Structure 1
């Protein structure tokens, strides 16, 4: 009975049998992960080293890159092993840990996007009070809240899921997720559902609603100002808008996947949609901020030109 209600392993059933293509796929995914690491590390190093970028907006961007490294590590290390394996069994403890990492990654992303929306709102709508309102002390408090609250709220969800007696061990995904584990429960999951709903509202829907509210206010302000002012606002806010829209789409896809019968979908489509949630944002975020924000773009171009000149001198 103990083994039936508390299985030692979970079986990730969405992995497609690709035969000899597993090795090219492994290499491709390894290159993809290397791109994620290098792109986000460049953003982190540039912002941490350049004193001119020690401003709230860039601090938040650096936090996004740190979060991308956290979330992608929680997914890719296990994914690489499963790509080269014929069986896709994951120990119960490892599965619960992966749930914690991926869900905190998702929550951090949304809380940080909400904080960044507030930063852009004050900068555009109350520019004269920006430095008085968005102080280094407030930035520290906001970043601490963005990390600490999701860490404890997600831990509560994972703990409740770990206590459930389960009537199966099959998870229809390519990584561990909380809702599929809860659905395996042999008993009522009312408490899990209530806590999960509270956490979802506070870490997902409230930040999303706040971002929409702030940009509605920014839009109303821009309508009354000059085209030059609107151009500056677009240049400042566009990277955040792209990141927000991109992440909202990936979250929607993941939520939709968790609520439908994945076995009825084309397996390749289901895998691609699952990958989007943990792969696309960590790639898109540093590229968007590196290419769209002139301050970061100038430093990157300067670093590239210096490296080219050094190579020419060595020749």
Structure 2
């Protein structure tokens, strides 16, 4: 029987479905990853270089894009390498690291969305107090919260996983997922602490969701009374809501499938479900915000105009 002392490699068998189309998938994936890098880095650089965008909403957007770069870099380079090799394996330590990156990326996204909702709540419902509350110090604290909270929580989750005895090495996905590693534990292994940590994490991030709902109840109630607030809602809250709904759909669908879904789905469909959160939000978010937020759009159009001349 294998245990953690001898399981040094995992096999990512989900990639087997793609090997017949290796060249085409490699080319499309590389192109897509380049697009992700370009749109997110461009938006981050615009926010850094333009002094008029040094406001909480845009700084949070920059943090959002940096997180997109962090998460996709934890997956795409390894996937591209797997497409070029005959053995789709990952080391035990590398698998735990990738699982940590994937989970912390997803939960950091939700934390940033919660902080963005709070920022919009202050701007629309308490405009007179906005600048006194959303100071540089408060903004720094909120950004640290949105990054450090998932990092700390998933450090504990991954440490708990690393102590389990494993009786399997096959992961039927394109990437490592902490819960699937836990499911490879031997029957006599004590995974109770892992389950407690998993449900604690779910409670923490469900509370994020309830907080966002609470802020939008107040925002919508305020916007009903004011035409100016309705305009502000359409300009700044609609992109946020679009990002939030998209994120929740792809994440919840993946979690439900991973915990309760059928095992008889085609592998290609399982692959798409498993990496949906890495395909859609990292490209969609900067594009939506780039075109919807007036200051960002004007800055982009100004750069395009200058280049055209």
Contact (CA 8 Å) 1:172, 1:262: kept in 2 or not? no
Corresponding residue for residue 143 of structure 2: 143
Contact (CA 8 Å) 1:262, 1:270: kept in 2 or not? no
Residues 103-155 of structure 1: CA deviation (Å, up to 9, x unaligned):
11111111111000000001111111111111111001111111112111111
Corresponding residue for residue 159 of structure 1: 159
State the distance in 2 between where 1:16 and 1:217 align.
49
State the distance in 2 between where 1:285 and 1:108 align.
14
> What is the deviation of 1:93?
0.7
| TM-score, normalised by the number of residues in structure 2 | 0.95
Corresponding residue for residue 306 of structure 1: 306
Contact (CA 8 Å) 1:6, 1:166: kept in 2 or not? no
Q: Closer, same or farther in 2 for the Cα pair 1:252/1:108, shift >3 Å? A: same
Corresponding residue for residue 195 of structure 2: 193
Corresponding residue for residue 102 of structure 1: 102
> What is the deviation of 1:257?
2.5
Corresponding residue for residue 292 of structure 1: 292
State the distance in 2 between where 1:6 and 1:256 align.
31
> What is the deviation of 1:216?
1.3
Find the residue that maps to 1:176 and give its secondary structure.
coil
Corresponding residue for residue 117 of structure 1: 117
> What is the deviation of 1:172?
1.9
| TM-score, normalised by the number of residues in structure 1 | 0.93
Q: Closer, same or farther in 2 for the Cα pair 1:224/1:6, shift >3 Å? A: farther
- Displaced runs of 4+ in structure 1, greater than 6 A? none
Residues 6-33 of structure 1: CA deviation (Å, up to 9, x unaligned):
4111111222434452101101000000
> What is the deviation of 1:86?
3.2
Corresponding residue for residue 207 of structure 2: 206
> What is the deviation of 1:261?
5.1
> What is the deviation of 1:207?
1.4
> What is the deviation of 1:225?
2.6
Contact (CA 8 Å) 1:43, 1:286: kept in 2 or not? yes
Contact (CA 8 Å) 2:222, 2:229: kept in 1 or not? no
Note the aligned Cα RMSD (angstroms). Answer: 1.5
Find the residue that maps to 1:7 and give its secondary structure.
coil
Residues 214-254 of structure 1: CA deviation (Å, up to 9, x unaligned):
1111111122233x531232212111111111111111122
Find the residue that maps to 1:188 and give its secondary structure.
coil
Count of equivalent residues:
307
Corresponding residue for residue 216 of structure 2: 215
State the distance in 2 between where 1:180 and 1:119 align.
36
Single out whichever of 34-43 and 217-226 deviates more from structure 2.
217-226
- Structure 2 gap segments, 5+ residues each: none
Contact (CA 8 Å) 2:19, 2:83: kept in 1 or not? no
Corresponding residue for residue 274 of structure 1: 274
Q: How does 1:220-239 map to 2 (within 5 A)?
A: 220-226=221-227, 228-239=228-239
State the distance in 2 between where 1:133 and 1:98 align.
37
Single out whichever of 256-265 and 136-145 deviates more from structure 2.
256-265
Find the residue that maps to 1:10 and give its secondary structure.
strand
